[in-house]
A = this chain, B = another copy of it.
């Protein structure tokens, strides 16, 4: 009865909720680039003011990097924590965007209205689904339904260097009964889902130096070692002919999928061919003896996310460069230890160097995989609430991405994480023309209202 009133208010307030999201999207809070640090502060300030408007006792909290936003409302019943991140990915290549990434707009598309702009899906739009659900609840009831802690981070897209220390220092304040995390998607873009299996992530940047200055390949070509030749040889050796990663010990701690989960995943109507054809491909490129859904949700990977060296402008320059660079990431599962893998990767690269070359490494984040047990009845309650909203049975699924925060809630605070999100596969997060469907935003807000009702 009162839930219906909250849902009605959400429907009627959607234009204003969209306007508020647009304001937040206009702030270019790119966390990985120091030039945008001031904008990260602005985004945090915006969230503080917005939460204050619904009665949250909230403040911006300094870290050595970008600030956290932490707020509380008192209440009876369970203590819920909601986590989201206000930082966004870089926007290059900018020329592939059809509009200014930070001048968002609602667009009509054949698939319905979408909100277009950097961060619309990852994660500002998702973060605001929960805030808007609370706003509507408060407007109808005068209070929120239980004790709630809001916890927003500004470094998720840059390896979250301040997160673990902050959680450790503020463990008593952040510990709660359940941590709701909104940074995942619908299964197959239409089935509401709770993610219970997440891959970990290890990032490494390597720089190989051969001659100590850029040379002319006419004078030195053939005699001087070319660092690009060394780098390509090392990167090409990271996978064997079967698509397996060759870093020593890489598969230590990688579990085989339990039969019950394997059969549950086989029961999901996952269209492998469409998943690939959507991006112009026809054949899975991973380990030869695995299905695509296994590759994405339960197998570890290695990818080169960036490479550069020598002359990369228009035309040609016969330079023999001094240095070549690459950014390499590993997705981890099960009990793979990111620190051991980092050590083994660095040793493997170092061992492969010709005597005249040197290598420098920079670490970019190291998070383990996490698996959540769903035995606590709150999971079934949330799953039913999602099913009611979307009129499709909600599913427990895995996720190929890495959301280290889920493991941190478990390991640092002893708090169970619950990952629910409304993104779609074609949201183009981390890519040009990122968008969030208006349906994701609208039904996402309604979903949280139902979940709050079900859990309290």
Chain A positions within 8 Å of B, measured between CB atoms, are 31-34, 89-90, 92-93, 96, 157-159, 199, 201, 203, 205, 210-226, 228-229, 231-233, 235-239, 275-276, 279-287, 292, 295-296, 299-301, 303-321, 324-327, 329, 331, 354-356, 364-365, 399-402, 425, 428-432
Q: Which residue of B lies closest to A323 (CB)?
A: B93
A235 touches which one: B215, B229, B299 (CB < 8 A)? B229
Report how many copies the assembly holds. Answer: 2
A286–B354 Cα gap in the complex (Å)? 12
User: Which of A203, A226, A303, A425 neighbours the largest number of chain B CB atoms within 10 Å of its CB?
Assistant: A303
Task: Name the B residues within 8 Å of A276 (CB-CB).
Answer: 223-224
A312–B229 Cα gap in the complex (Å)? 18
User: Are the C-beta atoms of B314 and A306 separated by less than 8 Å?
Assistant: no
| Given pairs A222-B300, A316-B329, 12 additional interface contacts (CB within 8 A) | A211-B280, A212-B280, A216-B401, A219-B401, A223-B275, A225-B283, A225-B285, A305-B318, A305-B321, A307-B312, A316-B364, A319-B430
CB distance from A119 to the nearest CB of B (A): 14
B279 and A354 contacting across the interface, CB-CB below 8 Å: no
A327 to B400, CA, bound (A): 33
How many Å from the CB of A32 to the closest CB on chain B? 3
Q: Using CB atoms, name the residue of chain B closest to A423.
A: B219
Return chain B residues, CB-CB under 8 Å to A33. 313-315
Q: Taking CB as reference atom, which chain B residue is nearest A355?
A: B283
CA distance A421 to B313 in the complex (A): 29
Chain B nearest CB from A380 CB (Å) reads: 27
Cα distance A428–B400 when bound, in Å? 48
Do the beta carbons of B217 and A159 come within 8 Å of each other?
no
A148 to chain B, nearest CB (A): 28
**Is B306 in contact with A221, judged by CB distance below 8 angstroms?**
no
**Which residue in B280, B296, B356 is a CB contact (below 8 Å) of A213?**
B280
Q: Would you call A324 and B307 a contact (CB within 8 A)?
A: yes
Distance in Å: Cβ of A379 to nearest Cβ of chain B: 23
- Min C-beta distance of A352 to chain B, whole Å: 11
**When the two chains form the complex, which single residue of B199, B313, B327 contacts A90, counting CB atoms closer than 8 Å?**
B313
**Contact (Cβ within 8 A) A327 B331:** no
- If A304-B310, A311-B92 touch, whether A222 touches B318 (CB-CB below 8 Å) is no
Interface hub of A205, A232, A320 (most chain B Cβ within 10 A): A232
Residue pair B305, A316 in contact (C-beta under 8 Å): yes
Q: Which residue of B lies closest to A330 (CB)?
A: B221
CA distance A159 to B314 in the complex (A): 13
Which residues from B are CB-within-8-Å of A238? 229
Cα separation A432 to B34 with both chains bound (whole Å):
27
Residues of B within 8 A of A401 (CB): 216, 218-219
Most buried by B among A159, A226, A275: A226
CA–CA, A216 and B428, complex, Å:
8
